[in-house]
């Protein structure tokens, strides 16, 4: 959700191509507008608009922009509609300061009124502009830049990061408060960004900022300061060794398809990692002795929590409460304490709804663990023990491989807690590979049959219920059709009335629940509906369903997980058939850092 990038070099030069490339590498976060500013000794060049990076870059000739410093920003609208004026970066009243932010300044409306009353020129509704005026206010009072940022920080409520610079100064300044910010140190330049993909092509040397830190960027060094009293902070430089190919498409048309195909390998990696991760023991000990355990997440990560709670009951005899993160605060936080355990699950580790719940839980003294993909994210820094999803970058907005690994982690923990050694999962990567191979073609045949429909249901029971919810979310997210995920037994309590000739209903069938699922299938087919079963080859499914997507034969405990793969592939093919870009669905963002 929004992304910022800033660079300081040692001389005036053509920075446009660097800014465009940095913006492209932040696109996975989701955006509706893009802008770039270059800063020279005596002038600022600012170009921005609503639209895709390449289109805005071409229209405004961003590649031709020159300067000694540059800032680019991708905006995902919160304050103010997507429009050119609300796009970022923003200028101050006189046009000699320029800055951009990522995040959410919650007192934006109040601040804008103050700025206008103080005679400043406020051009947009956007809260990024408020960050610039908040600094301008104190520069105009004669404060030096660091002091102005420190004072602005006190005025700007909410979670954000911003980068700002001005003419007649060869530096940029950035501050972090609640949103991610990483600094890169290169040869003859320094840069700062919301995330690593825009930094790694330029340099492997990075410094991760903490909340409440201000960075002054020179072309050959950076200075880190505390916002509280301005004192200098020493921080080691990290060397990133990960391959950049991880953030390329690797021969696939879309990141989503690549990430679906990476699942056998990422499953192998997480299982390998779990076998030796010392955190597993600590988490299991606490869960075993806890009064109550909660698995907490949003969207896809919540579906993994739901699956995890089924596995913990079935494999470990432990009842766990799965919770949608924002609901944890009103429904459970008042009743939990140090005897309880919460496992917070998030791909990005930056989802605000999850971090809010984590904050509320921590304040009660509850033991909080994390499961996250992005190492160094807020979730990994704020939990006592966390397990990495080990998926590498997931660029596509729809989560695929991270869901699979979230479920694998829960399966592994449940198996261990139930007395197993986790070895039962060793076949899983091979089965995932087989499922991708064998269901891929079946799904391509099925896609045109359901494509005419804009309403569908996806049903499951037991451990296939969360898989059905996840399949429905994928279908909604990238085909823009309405697909409701539901417990299969609930369908007859109301939605069955929607069934007409050909109406598609997906049934995710676990090997042990086939009889129950077959009843549901017949309730649909006898009314002319199209019941599409996803399950292991089974005579009952074959004779009763309209179509069956066959899954390979496997251990009944993890068979439900395999069913998510054809649902991911079907969503992908339907999205393409409808002319959409599955990697960047409209209105959505990969990392939701707002309430």
CB of 390 to ligand M6R, least distance (A): 15
State how far the alpha carbon of 421 is from the alpha carbons of 82, 424, 425, 503, 558, in Å: 52, 8, 9, 44, 15
CB of 406 to ligand M6R, least distance (A): 8
Q: Is 533 in the site for ligand M6R (CB under 6 A)?
A: no
Question: Which residue's CB is nearer to ligand M6R, number 473 or number 541?
Answer: 473
Question: Which residue's CB is nearer to ligand M6R, number 6 or number 398?
Answer: 398
Q: Is 161 in the site for ligand M6R (CB under 6 A)?
A: no
Q: Are strands 213-217 and 222-226 parallel, antiparallel or unpaired?
A: antiparallel
Half-sphere exposure of 588 (CA within 13 A, CB side): 20
CB of 325 to ligand M6R, least distance (A): 8
Give yes or no: 539 in active site. Answer: no
Smallest Cα–Cα separation from 191: which of 166, 214, 220? 220
CB of 80 to ligand M6R, least distance (A): 22
Judged by CB under 6 A, the residue of 73, 102, 351, 554 near ligand M6R is: 351
Q: Is 477 in the site for ligand M6R (CB under 6 A)?
A: yes
Q: Is 301 in the site for ligand M6R (CB under 6 A)?
A: yes
Smallest Cα–Cα separation from 155: which of 179, 130, 172? 130
Question: Which residue's CB is nearer to ligand M6R, number 397 or number 594?
Answer: 397
Question: Which residue's CB is nearer to ligand M6R, number 459 or number 592?
Answer: 592
Instruction: Give the end-to-end CA distance of the chain in Å, rounded to a whole number.
Output: 12
CB of 139 to ligand M6R, least distance (A): 37
**Which among 176, 318, 401, 590 is annotated as catalytic?**
590
3-state SS string over 53-110? HHHHHHHCCHHHCEEEEEEEEEECCCCCCCCCCCCCCEECCCCCEEEEEEEEECCHHH
Which of the stretches 99-107, 280-288, 345-353, 559-567 binds ligand M6R when contact is defined by CB under 6 A?
Answer: 345-353
Residue nearest to ligand M6R (CB): 299
Q: What's the sign of the alpha-carbon dihedral 387, 393, 398, 402?
A: negative
Are residues 94 and 48 in contact, defined by beta-carbon separation less than 8 angstroms?
no
Give yes or no: 2 in active site. Answer: yes
Q: Is 263 in the site for ligand M6R (CB under 6 A)?
A: no
CB of 303 to ligand M6R, least distance (A): 8
Which of the stretches 2-10, 272-280, 348-356, 461-469 binds ligand M6R when contact is defined by CB under 6 A?
Answer: 348-356
Three-class secondary structure of residue 131 per DSSP? helix
- Show contacts of 145-154: CB within 8 Å, 24+ apart: 145/169, 145/171, 145/173, 145/216, 146/173, 146/214, 146/216, 146/225, 146/230, 147/230, 149/173, 149/175, 149/214, 149/227, 150/214, 150/227, 150/230, 153/177, 153/212, 153/214, 153/227
State how far the alpha carbon of 452 is from the alpha carbons of 9, 214, 443, 459, 577, in Å: 53, 53, 15, 20, 10
Judged by CB under 6 A, the residue of 298, 306, 468, 531 near ligand M6R is: 298
Which of the stretches 23-31, 191-199, 341-349, 499-507 binds ligand M6R when contact is defined by CB under 6 A?
Answer: 341-349
**Which among 2, 131, 298, 391 is annotated as catalytic?**
2
Q: Is 346 in the site for ligand M6R (CB under 6 A)?
A: yes
Question: Which residue's CB is nearer to ligand M6R, number 71 or number 354?
Answer: 354
Please tell me the count of residues contacting ligand M6R according to CB under 6 A: 15
Give the integer Cα–Cα distance in Å for 256 and 573.
11
Q: Is 347 in the site for ligand M6R (CB under 6 A)?
A: yes
Judged by CB under 6 A, the residue of 425, 592, 593, 594 near ligand M6R is: 592
Question: Which residue's CB is nearer to ligand M6R, number 263 or number 346?
Answer: 346
Give the integer Cα–Cα distance in Å for 465 and 307.
8
Half-sphere exposure of 304 (CA within 13 A, CB side): 28
Which of the stretches 55-63, 92-100, 222-230, 394-402 binds ligand M6R when contact is defined by CB under 6 A?
Answer: 394-402
Question: Which residue's CB is nearer to ligand M6R, number 71 or number 399?
Answer: 399
Are residues 16 and 71 in contact, defined by beta-carbon separation less than 8 angstroms?
no
Are residues 574 and 451 in contact, defined by beta-carbon separation less than 8 angstroms?
yes
Give the integer Cα–Cα distance in Å for 51 and 69.
24
Judged by CB under 6 A, the residue of 91, 399, 408, 576 near ligand M6R is: 399
Q: Is 348 in the site for ligand M6R (CB under 6 A)?
A: yes
Give the integer Cα–Cα distance in Å for 58 and 579.
23
- Phi, psi for residue 70 in degrees, rounded to 5: -145, 150
H or E stretch covering 344? strand 341-346
Q: Is 354 in the site for ligand M6R (CB under 6 A)?
A: yes
H or E stretch covering 565? helix 564-577
Q: Is 409 in the site for ligand M6R (CB under 6 A)?
A: no
Question: Which residue's CB is nearer to ligand M6R, number 38 or number 348?
Answer: 348
The torsion angle over the Cα atoms of residues 141, 142, 148 and 151, rounded to 10 degrees, is -50
Q: Is 257 in the site for ligand M6R (CB under 6 A)?
A: no
Q: Is 397 in the site for ligand M6R (CB under 6 A)?
A: yes
CB of 589 to ligand M6R, least distance (A): 8
Question: Which residue's CB is nearer to ligand M6R, number 68 or number 591?
Answer: 591
CB of 323 to ligand M6R, least distance (A): 13
CB of 451 to ligand M6R, least distance (A): 20
CB of 301 to ligand M6R, least distance (A): 4
Which positions lie near ligand M6R, rule CB under 6 A?
Answer: 298-301, 346-348, 351, 354, 397-399, 473, 477, 592
Catalytic residues: 2, 590
């Amino acid at each position: 959700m929004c992304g910022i990038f800033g660079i300081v070099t040692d001389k005036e030069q053509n920075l446009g191509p660097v800014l465009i490339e940095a913006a492209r590498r932040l696109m996975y976060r989701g955006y509706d507008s893009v802008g770039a500013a270059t800063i020279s000794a005596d002038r600022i060049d600012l170009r921005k608009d609503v639209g895709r990076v390449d289109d805005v870059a071409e229209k405004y000739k961003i590649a031709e922009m020159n300067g000694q410093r540059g800032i680019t920003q991708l905006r995902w609208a919160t304050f103010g509609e997507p429009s050119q004026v609300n796009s970022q970066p923003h200028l101050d009243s006189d046009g000699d300061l320029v800055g951009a932010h990522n995040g959410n300044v919650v007192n934006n409306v109040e601040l804008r009124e103050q700025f206008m009353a103080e005679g400043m020129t406020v051009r947009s509704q956007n809260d990024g502009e408020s960050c610039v005026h908040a600094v301008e206010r104190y520069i105009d009072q004669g404060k030096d830049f660091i002091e102005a940022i420190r004072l602005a920080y006190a005025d700007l409520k909410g979670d954000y990061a911003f980068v700002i610079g001005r003419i007649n100064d060869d530096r940029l300044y950035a501050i972090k408060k609640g949103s991610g910010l990483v600094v890169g140190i290169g040869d003859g330049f320094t840069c700062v960004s919301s995330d690593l993909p825009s930094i790694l092509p330029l340099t492997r040397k990075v410094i991760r900022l903490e909340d409440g830190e201000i960075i002054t960027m020179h072309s050959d060094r950076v200075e880190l300061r505390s916002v509280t009293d301005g004192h200098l902070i020493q921080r080691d430089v990290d060397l990133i060794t990960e391959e950049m190919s991880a953030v390329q498409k690797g021969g696939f048309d879309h990141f989503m398809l690549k990430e679906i195909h990476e699942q056998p390998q990422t499953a192998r990696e997480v299982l390998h990692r779990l076998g030796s991760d010392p955190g597993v023991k600590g988490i299991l000990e606490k869960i075993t002795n806890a009064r109550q355990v909660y698995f907490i997440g949003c969207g896809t990560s919540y579906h993994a929590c739901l699956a995890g709670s089924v596995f913990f009951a079935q494999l470990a005899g432990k009842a766990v409460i799965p919770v949608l993160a924002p609901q944890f605060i009103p429904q459970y936080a008042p009743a939990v304490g140090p005897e309880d355990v919460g496992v917070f699950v998030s791909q990005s580790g930056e989802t605000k709804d999850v971090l809010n719940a984590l904050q509320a839980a921590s304040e009660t003294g509850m033991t909080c663990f994390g499961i996250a993909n992005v190492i160094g994210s807020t979730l990994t820094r704020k939990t006592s023990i966390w397990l990495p999803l080990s998926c590498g970058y997931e660029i596509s907005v729809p989560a695929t491989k991270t869901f699979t690994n979230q479920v694998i982690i829960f399966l592994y923990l449940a198996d261990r807690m139930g007395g197993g050694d986790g070895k039962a999962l060793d076949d899983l990567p091979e089965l995932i590979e087989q499922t991708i191979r064998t269901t891929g073609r079946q799904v391509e045949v099925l896609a045109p049959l359901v494509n005419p429909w804009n309403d569908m249901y996806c049903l499951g029971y037991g451990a296939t219920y969360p898989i059905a919810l996840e399949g429905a979310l994928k279908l909604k997210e990238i085909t823009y059709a309405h697909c409701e995920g539901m417990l299969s037994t609930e369908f007859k309590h109301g939605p069955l009335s929607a069934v007409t000739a050909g109406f598609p209903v997906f049934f995710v069938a676990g090997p042990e629940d086939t009889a129950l699922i077959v009843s549901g299938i017949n309730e649909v087919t006898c009314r002319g509906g199209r019941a599409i079963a996803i399950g292991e080859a089974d005579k009952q499914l074959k004779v009763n369903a309209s179509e069956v997507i066959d899954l390979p034969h496997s251990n009944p405990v993890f068979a439900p997980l395999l069913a998510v793969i054809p649902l991911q592939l079907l969503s992908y093919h339907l999205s393409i058939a409808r002319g959409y870009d599955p990697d960047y669905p409209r209105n959505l963002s990969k990392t939701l850092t707002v309430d």
